[in-house]
Structure 1
Amino acid sequence: MPLLARSVQTPLHIDVRRGAVADLGRILADGRISAGGDVAVVVGPGQGQRIAELIQPSLRSADIYTTVGGTLDAAIELGGKLRSRSYDAVVAIGGGKTVDTAKYAATRYALPMVSVATSLANDGVASPVASLIHDGIKRSYGVHIPLAVVVDLDFVENGPERVNRAGIGDVISNISALADWDLGREVRGEPVDGLAASLARMGAEAVLTMPGDMTDDAFVTVLAEALISSGLAMAVCGSSRPCSGGCHEIIHAADTLFPGTASHGELAGLGALFCTFLRGDERRFAQMSDCLVRHQLPRTAADVGLNSDQFVDVVDFAPKTRPDRYTILEHLALSPDEIRRKLAEYDDAVASR
């Protein structure tokens, strides 16, 4: 009987706990990533000095580089610096901009990359995607999945609460993205990868219903693992489909039309709730709405500083951001007037909960 299997790219090492940054040298050695600490450590401008002091005792041979901005130009500039000498790996320590910049630079120069997250704003910590700004527009670039993923709960705890809460919105948006994937299968015969869907769904379901908040280590650990699981789902699938549907089209549209409106995770939660309403799934709508309220995340256009006309423009433009993707937005193909009517109904439904 033949054995059928497939190879899946995953990190060699995943570690979610307190004190991980200070213990980085041992983590890299135990994971056979770098025995001598010959790594390029990439940090953001905010916590760079503190991080350098923490890692210096265990990574004496490391070079520390500071990157700013989360842009394609910054990633290319960083890549040029990484060629200064031979490194075992690139270790990015920081938030999403820092990690994505390092992911792109490491991939461009064929260097293994370790992601050390100090915030939980989105699922980029473990994904094969780097979101970088180029010519004023945020674009997604395919990169190699991190060799190892580490989340230091001490840094997460001391980071901006709003930034970390945003990751909750990004995780639960998987529920809407998976519903869109199923819709694509039903209408267009699009294949659905069951393993990728399971990985994306498990973390989302856990965060959706788990008690606790960002002050609770147990909840934060589940959130971190859910974000990592989302990244693995994308790596298994080979695209962002398990975690990106109409909800993320709304994000991209808002970023294009009204830059700086809100963070990725905040818009993901709002977009997912609106798409779930359009889908007519009352049970899921209630679950997601309650979760967003519990964690003080936006549910309406007004919550992110957009008026009704602006949000109508966002939803109308959203399908143009991913013309290859079929979601509830493409399925309904609402006119601006129809979007405006649906938005009024949506606002009433949110207000009633």
Structure 2
Amino acid sequence: MRVLKFGKSLKSGEECGCGFKHDRTLDLVLLGPISEALGMLEDLRLKPPYAVFYDETTYRVAGRFVKEKLAAKGVLTSSPTFQEAERGLAEARGARTVIGVGGGTVIDLAKYAAYRLEADFISIPTAPSHDGMVSPVVSLFKEGRRKSILARSPRLAIIDLRILGSAPRQLLISGYGDILAKIISIKDWQLGRDERGEQYCKTAESLVISSLEELIASLRKPSPQEETFETLVKALINSGAAMMVVGTSRPASGSEHLISHYLDMNLKERLPHGIQCALGTLLMAAYHELRNPNWWKDERYRLNALRGYFREVGLPTSLREAGVPIGVMVDAVVEAWRIRPKRYTILHKFKPDRSEALKLLRISGLA
């Protein structure tokens, strides 16, 4: 069992001097078998009664084992909505510790319940599909629109690499997309800092950029697949921790995520979150290279390199490959800034029209 320490090993807000309070709720990440990690809960003061959230798939993967091992109350979930979150909350009442066993939806539903119950939260992800596994953000649907709220990060995350490594390939690819998207989100945040006077945190920036650098380095050398996979998982954890530190998704979610949110609401069949973000990443990389003098000078972070990383991990590099209609993506580029009008990004600065959106599709290679 390997232990990654967070909590007080992270700088405090005073030490950083950024103006954010620095939430350090996440104490530990345990990398190893779930069975071994569960035996440590009492020593970590994560006490019963327990409530375990899962869906039909993750019940078979690990949820049943966790439920039976801890004699916990089981909460079966089905849909990524706030209505479902309220139902799960009602079922989990009385729990001192809430555990989420699953992908993004299950983790967010459990996170919501733990926050509302003022209970401790343990995250046990079953897929490396995005960075919500330790973040404080809950992202669910309300009346057909995706809405994000701030809850609280887990005190503990249990990462069983054997289970994550057996997840469907599309979910693994999604995880790569969500991390490579940080190339955009950091620059959008810097845009807000430089042009709107937004608070900015070097500690959160360091968590994101160091993870991004490690992942890119692993993709640029002939290394064992297992090593690259573990680097991805650690990057997802660090990205979530960056959001925890500042209490906002700002370090990890920029214009590329707004594109994804628009696709969530307008595609007949949604793609995994990180794959949608990846499409937005290529578009917004093209836009920043055209219009932002503060864009990355390092060739490793520019559009041509991004397309190479996409091919390396299996991310789509064209709308045809992704199955996304050109018209929907044009609308996304034009309209996505309206989803979060106060989150300043390159889309908010320039508010592209349809002609410019089509130009970005060509430059990015998506169309």
Query: What is the TM-score of this pair, normalised by structure 2?
Result: 0.86
- Between Structure 1 and Structure 2, how many residues are aligned? 340
In the alignment, the residues of structure 1 paired with residue 92 and residue 359 of structure 2 have an alpha-carbon distance, to the nearest angstrom, of: 53
Query: 2:264 is matched with which residue?
Result: 255
Query: 1:330 is matched with which residue?
Result: 348
In the alignment, the residues of structure 1 paired with residue 43 and residue 26 of structure 2 have an alpha-carbon distance, to the nearest angstrom, of: 14
Q: CA RMSD in A?
A: 2.3
Give the drift of 1:120: 0.8
1:90 alignment partner, SS class: strand
Give the drift of 1:116: 0.4
Give the drift of 1:174: 0.9
In the alignment, the residues of structure 1 paired with residue 143 and residue 224 of structure 2 have an alpha-carbon distance, to the nearest angstrom, of: 38
In the alignment, the residues of structure 1 paired with residue 127 and residue 321 of structure 2 have an alpha-carbon distance, to the nearest angstrom, of: 22
Give the drift of 1:190: 2.3
Indicate whether 1:38 and 2:46 are aligned.
no
Counterpart among 62, 74, 95 of residue 64 in structure 1: 74
Query: 1:163 is matched with which residue?
Result: 171
The one-letter code matched in structure 1 to 2:251 is P
Counterpart among 3, 9, 13 of residue 24 in structure 2: 9
Query: 1:81 is matched with which residue?
Result: 91
**How has the CA–CA distance of structure 1 residues 214 and 49 changed in structure 2, closer, same or farther, with 3 Å as cutoff?**
farther
Answer yes or no: is the 8 Å Cα contact 2:303–2:364 preserved in 1. no
In the alignment, the residues of structure 2 paired with residue 253 and residue 310 of structure 1 have an alpha-carbon distance, to the nearest angstrom, of: 9
Cα deviation, 1:233-269, whole Å, max 9, x if unaligned, reads 1111221110111111111111122253311100111
Query: 2:200 is matched with which residue?
Result: 192
Counterpart among 175, 181, 190 of residue 173 in structure 1: 181
**How has the CA–CA distance of structure 1 residues 199 and 259 changed in structure 2, closer, same or farther, with 3 Å as cutoff?**
farther
2:259 alignment partner, SS class: helix
Task: Spell out the pairing of 1:314-329 with structure 2 (5 A cutoff).
Answer: 314-329=332-347
In the alignment, the residues of structure 1 paired with residue 54 and residue 222 of structure 2 have an alpha-carbon distance, to the nearest angstrom, of: 27
Give the drift of 1:49: 3.9
Indicate whether 1:307 and 2:317 are aligned.
no
Cα deviation, 1:128-180, whole Å, max 9, x if unaligned, reads 11111221222112111111111111211222111122011101111111011
Counterpart among 269, 282, 288 of residue 278 in structure 2: 269
Structure 2, unmatched stretches of 5+, are 1-12, 16-20, 290-294
1:92 alignment partner, SS class: strand
Identity %: 28
In the alignment, the residues of structure 2 paired with residue 337 and residue 22 of structure 1 have an alpha-carbon distance, to the nearest angstrom, of: 55
Answer yes or no: is the 8 Å Cα contact 1:41–1:93 preserved in 2. yes
In the alignment, the residues of structure 1 paired with residue 103 and residue 97 of structure 2 have an alpha-carbon distance, to the nearest angstrom, of: 19
**How has the CA–CA distance of structure 1 residues 14 and 73 changed in structure 2, closer, same or farther, with 3 Å as cutoff?**
same
In the alignment, the residues of structure 2 paired with residue 328 and residue 137 of structure 1 have an alpha-carbon distance, to the nearest angstrom, of: 22
The one-letter code matched in structure 2 to 1:22 is S
Counterpart among 127, 130, 135 of residue 127 in structure 1: 135
1:74 alignment partner, SS class: helix
**Which sits farther off after the overlay, 262-271 or 329-338?**
329-338
Give the drift of 1:41: 1.4
Give the drift of 1:303: 2.6
**Which sits farther off after the overlay, 49-58 or 262-271?**
49-58
Give the drift of 1:223: 1.2
Query: 1:153 is matched with which residue?
Result: 161
Give the drift of 1:307: 2.8
In the alignment, the residues of structure 1 paired with residue 336 and residue 305 of structure 2 have an alpha-carbon distance, to the nearest angstrom, of: 24
In the alignment, the residues of structure 2 paired with residue 328 and residue 168 of structure 1 have an alpha-carbon distance, to the nearest angstrom, of: 23
In the alignment, the residues of structure 2 paired with residue 198 and residue 89 of structure 1 have an alpha-carbon distance, to the nearest angstrom, of: 31
Counterpart among 57, 65, 75 of residue 54 in structure 1: 65
Task: Spell out the pairing of 1:202-351 with structure 2 (5 A cutoff).
Answer: 202-211=210-219, 216-280=225-289, 283=299, 284-347=302-365
Answer yes or no: is the 8 Å Cα contact 1:209–1:291 preserved in 2. no
**How has the CA–CA distance of structure 1 residues 53 and 214 changed in structure 2, closer, same or farther, with 3 Å as cutoff?**
farther
Give the drift of 1:56: 5.9
Give the drift of 1:214: 12
In the alignment, the residues of structure 1 paired with residue 323 and residue 74 of structure 2 have an alpha-carbon distance, to the nearest angstrom, of: 38
In the alignment, the residues of structure 2 paired with residue 78 and residue 94 of structure 1 have an alpha-carbon distance, to the nearest angstrom, of: 14
Query: 1:111 is matched with which residue?
Result: 119
Answer yes or no: is the 8 Å Cα contact 1:24–1:58 preserved in 2. no
Cα deviation, 1:196-255, whole Å, max 9, x if unaligned, reads 111111112222231389983322222111111111111112211101111111111111
**How has the CA–CA distance of structure 1 residues 231 and 4 changed in structure 2, closer, same or farther, with 3 Å as cutoff?**
closer
Query: 1:92 is matched with which residue?
Result: 100
Indicate whether 1:27 and 2:40 are aligned.
yes
1:14 alignment partner, SS class: strand
Answer yes or no: is the 8 Å Cα contact 1:24–1:55 preserved in 2. no
Give the drift of 1:62: 1.8
Query: 2:10 is matched with which residue?
Result: none
In the alignment, the residues of structure 2 paired with residue 277 and residue 139 of structure 1 have an alpha-carbon distance, to the nearest angstrom, of: 27
